[in-house]
Amino acid sequence: MPLLRALNTIPLWTLIVGLLAVFELYSVGLMLLARRKWGIDRLKLNNEVAGFKFSVIGVLYAVLLAFVVVAVWENYNATETAIRNEAKAVGDMAQLSYALPESQGEEMRRLLDVYVKEVQQSEWVTMARGLPSKTTAAALAHMNQAVINMEVGQFRDLAVFQQALRLLAVVEDNRNERLDSADGSVPMILWLVLIAGAVITLGYPAFFGTINLVAQTMITATLAALIALILLPAILLDFPLTGEVVLSSAPFDEALQQMPPHLKEPAPQSLLANMIANAAA
């Protein structure tokens, strides 16, 4: 949902203040407008009947809101786990490469190093827009080809080959999972229901009337603030790779530590240029 992604790009404190302001102005403003139009005496007649209905509406919306927040939090944790598993698999492949012949092992570590750098420098930027990186996909394709081209002569080589295939599958599966999460996990229809529920719930206090205007205003404002603050983590965590509350690529730094020192330098520009050209082709 483009609007929700745009909200994630706003500075955190600006988003908090803005969301609170919109909810407060709507709920409190509607309540004051109703008091001015119909008067306190007329609104007081609704208190007894409207109170029971508001209780039902509040419970239904609370259940829906809790469901969305829990679902978003679980997806956020699953994405973080996928990132760690992908980085661990890359590190394990780097260690496994030392069991290969020297030339093949050196080539595998070089390709792993390029892949990690592309993930950190390129794909983390594109995922903020909900898109994969072509250069990262090209780096992964080169890793695939290197594993497929591994020479299998002895039983020991077969075991190394099978383990390399397994780790490569872990890398691909977890990369796909974080790419899927980059574009949000809550369906648009559920967000529409959530927003409509907030409009109804925050508009309902306008049907009530109390003699004490200050008390009614404070109660209405508190309800609006509570709903806004609960909605805030759902909005932020639904896009775990966009905005300020974003998952880190730090696990890949640990994978880089398992590379030989000379491979920790920036990847050669010619190699990156070739990968970009191959991806474009």
Task: With H, G, I as helix, E, B as strand and everything else as coil, classify residue 46.
Answer: coil
74-88, 94-108, 251-265: lowest mean pLDDT where? 251-265
Query: Domain containing 191: what range?
Result: 2-280
The tens digit of pLDDT for each residue in 117-135 reads: 999 999 999 998 889 999 9
In our burial notation (b when 16+ CB lie closer than 10 A, e otherwise), range 80-112 reads bebbbbbbbbbbbbbebbeebeeebbebbbbbb
* Tally of domains within the chain: 1
Query: Would you state the pLDDT for residue 3?
Result: 78
User: What pTM does this model have?
Assistant: 0.82
d(CA 114, CA 133): 13
Instruction: Give the model confidence (pLDDT) of 238-277 as tens digits.
Output: 999 998 888 988 898 877 776 665 444 444 444 444 544 5
Whether 24 shows a pLDDT value over 60: the answer reads: yes
pLDDT of residue 269: 46
Question: Which residues are CB-neighbours of 43 under 8 A, at least 6 positions away?
Answer: 34, 35, 207, 208, 209
Tell me the pLDDT tens digit for each residue of 140-194. Answer: 999 999 998 887 777 778 888 999 999 999 999 999 999 999 888 888 899 999 9
The tokens of 191 are what? Answer: 């967000």
| CA 86 – CA 95 distance, rounded (Å) | 14
Q: Which tokens belong to 140? A: 């992964």
**pLDDT attached to residue 266:** 47
State yes or no: pLDDT of 7 exceeds 70. yes
